[in-house]
Amino acid sequence: DDAKPPKRRATSTSASTSLRDAREIRVLAVRFLAAAFARHPSFDYSTYWPTALAAVSPMAARLASESSSASPPPALAVIAALADDARTAVLLTSDGGGGERAGA
């Protein structure tokens, strides 16, 4: 018998779990990005910065509202890691470090 089990619709519980899982993955990815910036400030991130900025910008827009949470917002970790070294701080400028790297 080739009877297949009936397809199950996503319930609100499974949908909220999926959203929670997706949010947790995004948070972990942004924290990983911050760790990469902090640990490897001499790497030239300028090529990758537009993509990273597009990914982090929605989180950065929520910094003020999330700043009172128990753990610091993940976007804040990225900003702090970039600002900690002159070689990566240039990415925080309006041109995103598109010019020559400091000390290069």
| pLDDT per 10-residue tile (average), the chain, 104 residues | 62 78 92 96 94 90 84 90 95 68 44
CA distance 90 to 97: 5
Query: Residue 71: its pLDDT value, please?
Result: 83
DSSP assignment of the chain, as one string? --PPPPPPPPPHHHHHHHHHHHHHHHHHHHHHHHHHHHH-TTS--TTTHHHHHHHHHHHHHTHHHHTTSSS--HHHHHHHHHHTSHHHHGGGSTTTT-SPPTT-
Residue 38 has a pLDDT of: 97
Structure tokens at 24: 């947790």
